[in-house]
Amino acid sequence: MIIVVANSKGGVGKSTLAVHLAAWLHEQGHSVTLADCDAQHSSSDWAKEAVPGVKTVRLTDPDEIHDRLPILGQEADYVVADGPGSNTETSRALLLRADLALVPCKASMLEVRALAQATNVLRQAQDIRGGHPRALIVLSMVGKTYRLTQDMKDAATALELPLAKTSLILRQIYADAPGQGAVVWQLGSRGREAADEVKSLFSEVLPESRKAKSARRPAKQIVG
Ligand SMILES: Nc1ncnc2c1ncn2[C@@H]1O[C@H](COP(=O)(O)OP(=O)(O)O)[C@@H](O)[C@H]1O
Ligand SMILES: [Mg+2]
Protein backbone atom coordinates (compact mmCIF):
# COMPACT_ATOMS: atom_id res chain seq x y z
CA MET A 1 0.00 0.00 0.00
CA ILE A 2 1.30 3.42 -0.96
CA ILE A 3 0.35 6.26 1.37
CA VAL A 4 1.23 9.83 0.45
CA VAL A 5 1.26 12.73 2.88
CA ALA A 6 0.32 15.65 0.68
CA ASN A 7 -0.44 19.35 0.97
CA SER A 8 1.20 21.81 -1.37
CA LYS A 9 1.74 24.22 1.53
CA GLY A 10 4.91 23.93 3.56
CA GLY A 11 5.05 23.82 7.34
CA VAL A 12 1.69 22.09 7.84
CA GLY A 13 3.07 18.94 9.50
CA LYS A 14 3.64 16.60 6.54
CA SER A 15 7.09 15.35 7.50
CA THR A 16 6.06 14.97 11.15
CA LEU A 17 3.07 12.86 10.13
CA ALA A 18 5.03 10.82 7.57
CA VAL A 19 7.87 9.85 9.92
CA HIS A 20 5.50 8.92 12.75
CA LEU A 21 3.30 6.88 10.40
CA ALA A 22 6.29 5.00 8.97
CA ALA A 23 7.57 4.31 12.51
CA TRP A 24 4.16 3.15 13.72
CA LEU A 25 3.62 0.79 10.79
CA HIS A 26 7.10 -0.65 11.36
CA GLU A 27 6.28 -1.26 15.02
CA GLN A 28 3.09 -3.06 14.01
CA GLY A 29 5.38 -5.59 12.32
CA HIS A 30 5.14 -4.42 8.69
CA SER A 31 7.98 -3.80 6.27
CA VAL A 32 8.01 -0.07 5.51
CA THR A 33 9.80 2.23 3.09
CA LEU A 34 9.77 5.97 3.66
CA ALA A 35 10.00 7.78 0.33
CA ASP A 36 11.30 11.26 1.04
CA CYS A 37 10.03 13.32 -1.88
CA ASP A 38 10.96 16.72 -0.51
CA ALA A 39 14.18 18.28 -1.77
CA GLN A 40 15.20 19.15 1.81
CA HIS A 41 15.49 15.46 2.80
CA SER A 42 14.57 16.19 6.40
CA SER A 43 12.26 13.23 6.92
CA SER A 44 14.70 10.60 5.62
CA ASP A 45 17.47 11.86 7.91
CA TRP A 46 15.06 11.88 10.85
CA ALA A 47 13.64 8.42 10.10
CA LYS A 48 17.12 6.89 9.75
CA GLU A 49 17.90 7.95 13.31
CA ALA A 50 14.53 7.27 14.90
CA VAL A 51 13.61 3.99 13.20
CA PRO A 52 16.62 2.39 11.50
CA GLY A 53 14.42 -0.58 10.53
CA VAL A 54 12.49 1.63 8.10
CA LYS A 55 14.12 1.73 4.68
CA THR A 56 14.47 5.28 3.34
CA VAL A 57 14.73 6.42 -0.25
CA ARG A 58 14.94 9.91 -1.71
CA LEU A 59 12.74 10.48 -4.71
CA THR A 60 12.21 14.00 -5.96
CA ASP A 61 12.07 13.60 -9.71
CA PRO A 62 8.47 13.15 -10.97
CA ASP A 63 9.46 10.61 -13.64
CA GLU A 64 11.42 8.62 -11.10
CA ILE A 65 8.38 8.65 -8.79
CA HIS A 66 6.14 7.37 -11.59
CA ASP A 67 8.58 4.59 -12.42
CA ARG A 68 9.88 3.54 -9.03
CA LEU A 69 7.00 4.03 -6.60
CA PRO A 70 5.01 0.99 -7.81
CA ILE A 71 8.14 -1.18 -7.54
CA LEU A 72 8.81 0.08 -4.02
CA GLY A 73 5.16 -0.66 -3.27
CA GLN A 74 5.66 -4.29 -4.30
CA GLU A 75 8.84 -4.66 -2.25
CA ALA A 76 7.40 -3.46 1.08
CA ASP A 77 4.07 -3.84 2.89
CA TYR A 78 3.82 -0.04 3.05
CA VAL A 79 5.43 2.89 1.32
CA VAL A 80 4.92 6.19 3.13
CA ALA A 81 5.73 9.10 0.82
CA ASP A 82 6.49 12.47 2.39
CA GLY A 83 5.37 15.01 -0.20
CA PRO A 84 7.02 18.29 -1.12
CA GLY A 85 5.79 21.71 -0.05
CA SER A 86 5.53 23.20 -3.48
CA ASN A 87 6.56 21.10 -6.47
CA THR A 88 3.32 20.43 -8.34
CA GLU A 89 4.69 17.80 -10.72
CA THR A 90 6.17 15.80 -7.86
CA SER A 91 2.83 15.94 -6.02
CA ARG A 92 0.98 14.94 -9.16
CA ALA A 93 3.21 11.91 -9.70
CA LEU A 94 2.68 10.85 -6.07
CA LEU A 95 -1.09 11.27 -6.21
CA LEU A 96 -1.33 9.33 -9.46
CA ARG A 97 0.46 6.40 -7.79
CA ALA A 98 -0.87 6.48 -4.21
CA ASP A 99 -3.62 4.32 -2.66
CA LEU A 100 -4.29 6.74 0.19
CA ALA A 101 -3.57 10.45 0.67
CA LEU A 102 -3.36 12.05 4.11
CA VAL A 103 -3.65 15.82 3.96
CA PRO A 104 -2.43 17.56 7.11
CA CYS A 105 -3.92 21.01 7.55
CA LYS A 106 -3.39 23.58 10.27
CA ALA A 107 -6.59 24.25 12.15
CA SER A 108 -7.40 27.80 11.14
CA MET A 109 -10.04 29.26 8.88
CA LEU A 110 -7.37 30.69 6.56
CA GLU A 111 -5.63 27.36 6.23
CA VAL A 112 -8.84 25.44 5.61
CA ARG A 113 -9.83 27.96 2.92
CA ALA A 114 -6.39 27.58 1.34
CA LEU A 115 -7.00 23.83 1.17
CA ALA A 116 -9.11 24.20 -1.96
CA GLN A 117 -5.99 25.45 -3.73
CA ALA A 118 -3.64 23.08 -1.93
CA THR A 119 -5.70 20.03 -2.90
CA ASN A 120 -6.20 20.96 -6.55
CA VAL A 121 -3.79 18.31 -7.79
CA LEU A 122 -5.43 15.74 -5.51
CA ARG A 123 -8.81 16.43 -7.10
CA GLN A 124 -7.33 16.14 -10.58
CA ALA A 125 -5.83 12.77 -9.68
CA GLN A 126 -9.15 11.57 -8.23
CA ASP A 127 -10.90 12.75 -11.38
CA ILE A 128 -8.51 10.84 -13.63
CA ARG A 129 -8.53 7.70 -11.46
CA GLY A 130 -12.23 7.41 -10.74
CA GLY A 131 -12.02 8.66 -7.17
CA HIS A 132 -8.60 7.31 -6.19
CA PRO A 133 -6.62 7.92 -4.09
CA ARG A 134 -8.92 7.89 -1.06
CA ALA A 135 -8.06 11.05 0.88
CA LEU A 136 -8.49 12.30 4.42
CA ILE A 137 -7.78 15.67 6.03
CA VAL A 138 -5.88 15.54 9.32
CA LEU A 139 -6.00 18.70 11.40
CA SER A 140 -2.53 19.42 12.75
CA MET A 141 -1.11 21.89 15.24
CA VAL A 142 -4.51 22.37 16.83
CA GLY A 143 -4.57 24.75 19.83
CA LYS A 144 -5.39 22.92 23.07
CA THR A 145 -8.53 24.96 23.71
CA TYR A 146 -9.58 24.96 20.09
CA ARG A 147 -13.08 24.02 18.96
CA LEU A 148 -13.78 23.34 15.31
CA THR A 149 -16.06 26.19 14.28
CA GLN A 150 -19.06 25.69 12.02
CA ASP A 151 -17.34 27.86 9.36
CA MET A 152 -14.40 25.47 9.26
CA LYS A 153 -16.62 22.41 9.17
CA ASP A 154 -18.55 23.94 6.27
CA ALA A 155 -15.33 24.77 4.41
CA ALA A 156 -14.06 21.18 4.89
CA THR A 157 -17.42 19.76 3.78
CA ALA A 158 -17.36 21.93 0.65
CA LEU A 159 -14.08 20.26 -0.32
CA GLU A 160 -15.80 16.86 -0.15
CA LEU A 161 -12.85 15.48 1.76
CA PRO A 162 -13.54 13.64 5.01
CA LEU A 163 -11.87 14.86 8.18
CA ALA A 164 -10.12 12.40 10.50
CA LYS A 165 -11.81 12.31 13.94
CA THR A 166 -8.45 12.44 15.67
CA SER A 167 -6.49 15.71 15.35
CA LEU A 168 -2.91 16.46 16.30
CA ILE A 169 -2.55 19.09 19.03
CA LEU A 170 0.10 21.81 18.91
CA ARG A 171 2.73 20.40 21.30
CA GLN A 172 6.36 21.32 21.77
CA ILE A 173 7.33 17.64 21.86
CA TYR A 174 6.57 17.25 18.14
CA ALA A 175 8.93 20.11 17.34
CA ASP A 176 11.61 18.63 19.64
CA ALA A 177 11.42 15.07 18.30
CA PRO A 178 13.53 15.46 15.10
CA GLY A 179 16.37 17.10 17.04
CA GLN A 180 16.36 14.09 19.36
CA GLY A 181 16.36 11.69 16.42
CA ALA A 182 13.21 10.17 17.86
CA VAL A 183 9.48 9.79 17.45
CA VAL A 184 7.29 11.01 20.30
CA TRP A 185 6.69 7.60 21.90
CA GLN A 186 10.45 7.15 22.31
CA LEU A 187 10.65 10.27 24.49
CA GLY A 188 9.28 8.85 27.72
CA SER A 189 6.58 10.52 29.80
CA ARG A 190 7.01 13.91 28.06
CA GLY A 191 5.81 12.34 24.86
CA ARG A 192 2.97 10.28 26.28
CA GLU A 193 0.00 12.48 25.32
CA ALA A 194 1.37 13.06 21.83
CA ALA A 195 2.08 9.34 21.49
CA ASP A 196 -1.50 8.47 22.47
CA GLU A 197 -3.04 10.88 19.99
CA VAL A 198 -0.79 10.03 17.07
CA LYS A 199 -1.29 6.28 17.61
CA SER A 200 -5.05 6.70 17.86
CA LEU A 201 -4.98 8.67 14.62
CA PHE A 202 -3.19 5.82 12.83
CA SER A 203 -5.50 3.19 14.36
CA GLU A 204 -8.45 5.24 13.11
CA VAL A 205 -7.10 5.76 9.61
CA LEU A 206 -5.55 2.30 9.09
CA PRO A 207 -7.43 -0.07 11.43
CA GLU A 208 -6.40 -3.09 9.33
CA SER A 209 -2.72 -2.28 9.88
CA ARG A 210 -2.79 -2.93 13.62
CA LYS A 211 -1.27 -6.23 14.48
CA ALA A 212 -1.46 -8.54 17.46
CA LYS A 213 0.80 -7.46 20.34
CA SER A 214 3.11 -10.46 19.91
CA ALA A 215 3.93 -9.37 16.35
CA ARG A 216 5.02 -5.89 17.38
CA ARG A 217 8.66 -4.99 17.50
CA PRO A 218 10.13 -3.78 20.79
CA ALA A 219 10.08 0.03 20.87
CA LYS A 220 13.29 2.03 21.14
CA GLN A 221 13.27 4.29 24.22
CA ILE A 222 15.16 7.53 24.71
CA VAL A 223 14.31 9.05 28.05
CA GLY A 224 15.72 12.26 29.41
N1 LIG B 1 1.50 19.03 16.23
C2 LIG B 1 2.59 19.83 16.24
N3 LIG B 1 2.85 20.61 17.31
C4 LIG B 1 3.94 21.45 17.32
N5 LIG B 1 4.82 21.55 16.33
C6 LIG B 1 4.62 20.80 15.21
C7 LIG B 1 3.50 19.90 15.12
N8 LIG B 1 3.59 19.29 13.90
C9 LIG B 1 4.69 19.78 13.29
N10 LIG B 1 5.32 20.69 14.07
C11 LIG B 1 6.52 21.49 13.74
O12 LIG B 1 6.14 22.42 12.74
C13 LIG B 1 7.16 22.56 11.75
C14 LIG B 1 6.61 22.13 10.37
O15 LIG B 1 6.28 20.76 10.42
P16 LIG B 1 6.72 19.73 9.27
O17 LIG B 1 6.25 18.39 9.67
O18 LIG B 1 8.16 19.91 8.94
O19 LIG B 1 5.81 20.31 8.08
P20 LIG B 1 5.96 20.15 6.48
O21 LIG B 1 6.64 18.86 6.21
O22 LIG B 1 4.54 20.19 5.99
O23 LIG B 1 6.74 21.33 6.00
C24 LIG B 1 8.31 21.69 12.23
O25 LIG B 1 9.20 22.49 12.96
C26 LIG B 1 7.64 20.67 13.13
O27 LIG B 1 8.52 20.17 14.11
MG1 LIG C 1 8.34 18.40 5.10
Q: How far apart are CA 44 and CA 82, in angstroms?
A: 9
Let me know: does 4 contact 83? Beta carbons within 8 Å.
yes
Backbone angles phi, psi at 80, to 5 degrees: -105, 115
Torsion of CA 153, 102, 177, 223, to 10 degrees: 100
| Single-letter amino acid code for the residue at 33 | T
CB 168 within 8 A of CB 197: yes
Q: How far apart are CA 153 and CA 158, in angstroms?
A: 9
Residue 201 has pLDDT above 80, yes or no: yes
pLDDT category, 28, cuts 50, 70, 90?
A: very high
Average pLDDT in the chain? 92
- What pLDDT is recorded for position 77? 98
State CA 7 to chain mean position distance: 10
Does ligand 1 come within 6 angstroms of the Cβ of 20? no
* Residue spans of alpha helices (H) in 11-142: 14-27, 42-50, 62-75, 88-97, 109-118, 120-128
Give the three-class secondary structure for 163: strand
Distance from Cα 110 to the centre of ligand 1, integer Å: 17
- What is the reported pLDDT for 102? 98
Segments making up each domain of the chain, as ranges: 2-215
Q: Which atom of ligand 1 is nearest to the CA of 10?
A: 23
Predicted pLDDT at 198: 98
Ligand at shortest distance from the CA of 41:
2
User: Once rounded to an integer, what is the mean pLDDT over residues 4-18?
Assistant: 95
Q: pLDDT-based confidence at 113, cuts 50/70/90?
A: confident
- State whether the Cα torsion 96-2-160-20 is positive or negative: negative
pLDDT digits (tens, 9 = 90+) for 39-79: 989 999 999 999 999 999 999 999 999 999 999 999 999 99
Name the CATH architecture for the domain at 2-215.
Answer: 3-Layer(aba) Sandwich (3.40)
The confidence score (pLDDT) of residue 78 equals 98
* Mutational pocket test of ligand 1: of 9, 16, 108, 139, the residue with most ligand atoms within 8 Å of the beta carbon: 16
Residue 16: per-residue pLDDT: 98
Weakest mean pLDDT among 7-21, 83-97, 151-165: 151-165
Q: Is the pLDDT of residue 86 over 80?
A: yes
- State the average pLDDT over residues 75-95: 95
Q: How far apart are CA 14 and CA 208, in angstroms?
A: 22
Interval 140-195: pLDDT, tens: 999 887 777 777 778 778 888 899 999 999 999 999 999 999 999 999 999 999 99
